[in-house]
Amino acid sequence: METGTQVWYVFFRVDMRFLSVILLLGVLPAAGQSQLPQGLRDPAQGVAPYVASPPSIVDRMLDMAAVKPGEVVYDLGCGDGRILIAAAQKYRARAVGVELSGRLYQLTLDLVRRLNLSDQITVLHGNLMDVNFSDADVVTLYLETGSNNTLRPKLEKFLRSGARVVSHDFEVRGWKPVQVDKVQAFNRNHLIYLYQIPASLKAQSRPRVDSLR
């Protein structure tokens, strides 16, 4: 089910220079995409390239997770912060974003300040693999299947029973989604996987990891 979207993703990564030119020419901004050059990735720690989720996908991800006011939403690899901002503005949630790229971190921080959302949104600059997200009610992901595989043990240990994980385009292998939606945006189908942490997975003991907070 995932093959088509992965081919698209690989294409997107390979053709970053071409896309950057298009972005700079202002073609994609007209369609609502980020104006940042794509492909920002720290080769040492990066687990996914920068590709922004279209606004309609962001909305559907948060709708599927049924985010409630006051809940804590983490976007692991938050890019330009669009999921955090939507969670805070539309759902009155508290949101935490983690971003490895210094440019994207700064961009998100600036946006959050300009929108007066600093009380609701925390942005962390660092590696998502090092973050303690045990206070999350919802975790959003747009990474890669391999990254989700690496992250899965942390999600299982940290997240409480009932917490939701929503992943754009890439499944969390070994988990059974409670819902999978197919949404058309920017001329392709996007898959959104919703998972809920079952009581049987609730961690008996939580591991110590270096927290960025």
Give the interface with ligand SAM as residue ranges (CB under 6 A). 40-41, 45-48, 50-53, 75, 77-79, 82-83, 98-101, 104, 127-129, 142, 168
Tokens coding 33: 């995409």
Shortest distance, CB of residue 202 to ligand SAM, whole angstroms? 26
Q: Given the complex with ligand SAM, which of 15 and 161 has the nearer CB atom?
A: 15
Shortest distance, CB of residue 203 to ligand SAM, whole angstroms? 22
Burial of 63 (0-12, 13-18, 19+ CB in 10 A): middle
Distances (CA, A) of 84 to 89, 138, 205, 210: 9, 11, 29, 23
Shortest distance, CB of residue 142 to ligand SAM, whole angstroms? 4
Q: Given the complex with ligand SAM, which of 131 and 197 has the nearer CB atom?
A: 131
The closest alpha carbon to 122, from 41, 213, 54, belongs to 213
Q: Given the complex with ligand SAM, which of 65 and 100 has the nearer CB atom?
A: 100
- How many whole angstroms separate alpha carbon 176 and alpha carbon 165? 11
Give residue number: closest CB to ligand SAM.
77
Asked if 99 and 110 touch (Cβ cutoff 8 Å), the reply is no
Q: Given the complex with ligand SAM, which of 152 and 202 has the nearer CB atom?
A: 152
Give the CA angle between residues 88, 42, 209 to the nearest 5°. 65
Tokens coding 151: 């992250």
Shortest distance, CB of residue 22 to ligand SAM, whole angstroms? 17
Q: Given the complex with ligand SAM, which of 129 and 201 has the nearer CB atom?
A: 129
Shortest distance, CB of residue 144 to ligand SAM, whole angstroms? 8
